[in-house]
Every structure is written in C-alpha cells, then in structure tokens.
Chains A and B, each alone.
Chain A
C-alpha cells in the first residue's frame, strides 16, 4: 500500500515543509538502504541519498501523476546511484570469475539479514553488483539495464550470470571467510 497520500503530493508541489518532512520520514530508511546497495562506501551512499532526495523534493513538478509515485522516486534514487558510479569511474564491467581479496565475513544460514546482504554485495565487483541489484532486486529487464548502463543486452546477461556464480562461490564457503 502506498505510504504517500495524494494530499502530500499536492503539498510537496507547493514546497510545504511539513509535507517534505513527512515524505522524508516515510522513505528515508528505504532510499538510504537502496543507495547503499549500489554504492559501497556508507558516506558516499549518504551523499547519493541526499542528492536523490533533494531531486525528489525539487523536481516534484515533473511527476505527472500518471505512474506510481513510489516507483518514480525509486527510479530517481537508482539513477542517482548509477550516476555516482559513472562519475567515479568505478563502473567497470568485470569479467573475472574468481576473487582473492575477501576481507569481510559473510554468515549465511537459513536466512540472510540485511547486514550480511550488504557484505555479500560488497564482495561483488561494481558491474556484477549493479546488474544484480537492478535485475534481481529492482526487477528491471535486461533491455532496460542495457539502456540504463549503456551496455549491450548480452553484457547485462553475462554480468548477472557471473554475479550469481560469484555469489554461489562465496556462499559455498558459507559461515566463515577469513582472508588476510
């Protein structure tokens, strides 16, 4: 169910402070975690989150009201995260299949909690992590991912396969990874 009432959108368009605070309280945790899934560093993820929320609040008039408002906001956060990755030149489509530099511990039992999910995603190269996030968690199609990232559909598909493969490798050694 949508957390945003029509009246709030109306007030947001007028720039009402109370409406802005209400929207922030309702979505800040979700959007901060969303940007953190794409951007490894917490401080950078916070910067992306603020830039995205600022865009949401200041570009509210570009929301036509036709689509889902939450979806519109999420797209802004995802786009902002992708823009950050592009700007910082760490948006590289990796093709390696093995890794040697695992510094974190991943605990994988019957369930994965949020903290371990972040650890797991952080172990993936940026390209794998981004495509995995977009396809598996956000539900984008390969065609959309290819358009968003400026890559071919096949690259998107292969990045996803490699991301899953890498994840399986990590999880096979489940419970403890302790590499110097």
Chain B
C-alpha cells in the first residue's frame, strides 16, 4: 500500500498544465467587480458623512439664530430660554418711556457722558 500511496502522490504532482483560458477571465472579472464595489462603497461612505455634516451644520445654524425669527424667545448656549417681559409703562415708572427723556437730561448723566 505504501508503494501505491507513493504512486498516488507522484500522480497528484503530474497534473496537466493547461488551464482553460475562461477561468482567468472569470477571475479577472470578479476582481474588477470588487474594485468597482470598493469605489462605490467609498463614495457611499463619503456621501453619508457629507450628509451628516450638512445636517449638523444646519442644526447648529438654526440653534444659534432661532431668536432672530422669534424675538420673544432668546436661545442661549446653555439652552435656557428667556422670555422677554412686555413693557407696561403704567405699571412701573422705571419702564415709563417718558422717564428716558428725564434721565437723558439729568445732570449726572450729562456729566458722565460729556467726558
């Protein structure tokens, strides 16, 4: 049996050299397909990343500029919202616009700003 095994091993080494040409073409096509797929994957990753950046940029822009469209609400970076009080001149003299003229003409104010 050992002799036979040796003959079998020898026979397995004497394989024919001719390999059908279409096999290389198939392999080559598969490799080409793989390269195309890799390129496509790269584009996909790039476009996904770009859309994330775009969404992030738009969100940040909206976050920091929202008060411009809604003056009643001020948005701060701490996410605190400050609602502006309405001016009620009759309720408190401090808010009375007529007092502004008085304040403007006050001697202390004039002295301070004339410097």
Contact = CB atoms under 8 A, between A and B. Distances in A.
A32 B11 contact: no
B109 interface: no
Given A57-B31, A111-B7, A28 B23 contact: yes
Contact of B30 (A50, A113, A171): A50
B4 A46 contact: no
A20 interface: yes
Nearest to A33: B15
Given A50-B26, A54-B27, A30 B15 contact: yes
Interface in B1-60: 1, 4-5, 7-12, 14-20, 23-24, 26-27, 30-31, 34-35
Given A33-B12, A50-B26, A58-B34, A28 B19 contact: yes
Given A24-B27, A168-B1, A114 B12 contact: yes
A112 B24 contact: no
A113 B14 contact: yes
Interface in A115-144: 116-117, 120, 136-137
A167 interface: yes
A37 interface: yes
Interface residues of A, number: 30
B38 to A, nearest CB: 10
Contacts of B9: 136-137
Contacts of B17: 29
Contact of B8 (A33, A49, A136, A168): A136
Nearest to B18: A29
Nearest to B5: A136
A164 B27 contact: no
Contacts of B4: 167, 171
A112 B8 contact: yes
Nearest to A15: B35
Nearest to A164: B1
Contacts of A167: 4
A53 interface: yes
B33 to A, nearest CB: 10
23 contacts: A15-B35, A24-B24, A24-B27, A28-B24, A29-B15, A32-B15, A33-B16, A46-B23, A49-B23, A50-B27, A54-B27, A54-B31, A111-B10, A111-B11, A112-B8, A112-B10, A114-B12, A114-B15, A117-B11, A136-B8, A136-B9, A137-B12, A168-B1
The 7 closest A-B pairs by CB, nearest first: A33-B15, A117-B11, A112-B11, A28-B19, A29-B17, A112-B7, A114-B14
Given A28-B19, A54-B27, A57-B31, 5 more contacts: A24-B27, A28-B23, A32-B19, A50-B30, A136-B8
